């Protein structure tokens, strides 16, 4: 195995692409839907649009909110699965078959029912030393993105959720990972987060053509207002701001009830 880069070289500053309809940081788009099913239908339409890219590089989140979308995807064998490369915005540092594994959730809800080659899945290892697993995931990401000639926009779509504390992926409030400006992957090993996790960092997430937050339920109404409307910088989810892509907050009515 090639020697892992001791420290990834800082990638070139992003040229603001004037062809994009929102050069620079796109203002957040907020879309509200009557219920979880219509929210999932919208998310599917965003996925279908983004999947025209070749390859189609998508990063998934865990949690329960994306499950209705995952179940819709399971019934779409006609999507370009052979050209779809699945990554993970974060993963719990557990073996692949563990009940808390995001890879297991994705496999069980849709990936195992679709014609997607196994080598199209790229997830962090969940065993061994977490720092080494994070570096290995970053190395695989950098290799693939270089192979595809991607610098400004790495992912075509990143699916994210919002925790009640304002975390997203596995970027939690107060985490030193929020200061990371070079690495694309980090390990969250603080005792307050169990199990430990491996996560994309903001430099990686913010290099996406589309970031789609899916938020549902009354319990998320307060935090969604602080993240999507107030853009409270103390909250990791509010720090997600694609430099040259779309930022979409899609919520059901219950979660959007405090957006005014
Ligand atoms: C994870 C997710 C995490 C999730 C939020 C929201 O691995 O758990 O990446 O960031 O998106 O905690 O979870 P729900 O969708 O279950 O509310």
Rounded percentage of the chain residues whose pLDDT exceeds 70: 90
Model confidence band, residue 5 (pLDDT cutoffs 50, 70, 90): very low
CA distance linking residue 207 with residue 190, whole number of Å: 26
**Given this model, what pLDDT does residue 6 score?**
53
User: What's the gap in Å between 236 CA and the centre of ligand 1?
Assistant: 13
Q: Does the structure show a pLDDT above 90 at 93?
A: yes
Which atom of ligand 1 sits closest to the CA of residue 220? 17
Structure token pair of residue 49: 């649009």
Residue 5 buriedness (CB in 10 A; 0-12 / 13-18 / 19+): exposed
Do 79 and 49 touch, CB atoms closer than 8 A?
A: no
Query: How confident is the model over 246-259, as a mean pLDDT?
Result: 98
Output the pTM of the full model.
Answer: 0.91
Q: Which are the contacts of 127, defined by CB distance < 8 A and separation ≥ 6? A: 95, 133
Residue 79: how many other CB atoms lie within 10 Å: 17
Least confident of 13-17, 51-55, 200-204: 13-17
**Among protein residues, the one whose CA lies closest to atom 3 of ligand 1:** 169
* Highest-pLDDT range among 11-20, 25-34, 186-195: 186-195
Which atom of ligand 1 sits closest to the CA of residue 167? 10
Helix (H, G, I), strand (E, B), or coil: what is residue 86? strand
Instruction: Tell the residue number behind the tokens 């913010």, with chain if given.
Output: 206
Which atom of ligand 1 sits closest to the CA of residue 61? 9
**Among protein residues, the one whose CA lies closest to atom 14 of ligand 1:** 63
Alpha helices in 99-157 (DSSP H): 102-109, 130-147
**Mean pLDDT (the chain, rounded):** 92
**Given this model, what pLDDT does residue 96 score?**
87
User: What's the gap in Å between 252 CA and the centre of ligand 1?
Assistant: 16
Residue 174: how many other CB atoms lie within 10 Å: 11
Q: Best mutation site among 66, 104, 161 for ligand 1, i.e. most ligand atoms within 8 A of its Cβ?
A: 161
165-201: per-residue pLDDT in tens? 999 999 999 999 999 999 999 999 999 999 999 999 9
**Among protein residues, the one whose CA lies closest to atom 12 of ligand 1:** 163
Which residue has better confidence, 1 or 141?
141
Which atom of ligand 1 sits closest to the CA of residue 102? 7
Helix (H, G, I), strand (E, B), or coil: what is residue 60? strand
Q: Does the structure show a pLDDT above 50 at 12?
A: no
**ω into residue 165 within 30 of 0, thus cis?**
no
């Amino acid at each position: 195995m090639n020697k892992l880069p001791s420290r990834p070289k800082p990638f070139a500053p992003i040229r603001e692409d004037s062809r994009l309809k929102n050069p620079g940081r796109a203002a957040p788009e907020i879309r509200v839907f009557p219920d979880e099913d219509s929210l999932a239908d919208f998310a599917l339409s965003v996925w279908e649009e983004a999947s025209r890219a070749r390859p189609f590089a998508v990063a998934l989140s865990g949690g329960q909110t994306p499950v209705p979308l995952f179940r819709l995807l399971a019934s779409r064998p006609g999507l370009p699965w052979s050209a779809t490369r699945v990554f993970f915005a974060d993963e719990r540092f557990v073996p692949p078959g563990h009940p808390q594994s995001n890879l297991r959730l994705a496999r069980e809800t849709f990936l195992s029912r679709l014609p997607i080659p196994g080598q199209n899945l790229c997830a962090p290892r969940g065993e061994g030393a977490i720092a080494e697993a994070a570096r290995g995931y970053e190395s695989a990401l950098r290799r693939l993105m270089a192979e595809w000639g991607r610098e400004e926009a790495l992912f075509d779509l990143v699916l994210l959720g919002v925790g009640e504390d304002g975390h997203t992926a596995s970027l939690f409030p107060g985490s030193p990972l929020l200061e990371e400006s070079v690495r694309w992957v980090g390990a969250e090993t603080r005792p307050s987060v169990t199990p430990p996790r491996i996560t994309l960092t903001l430099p990686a997430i913010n290099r996406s053509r589309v970031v789609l937050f899916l938020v549902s339920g009354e319990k998320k109404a307060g935090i969604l207002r602080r993240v999507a409307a107030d853009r409270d910088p103390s909250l990791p989810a509010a720090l997600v701001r694609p430099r040259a892509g779309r930022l979409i907050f899609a919520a059901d009515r219950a979660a959007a009830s405090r957006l005014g």
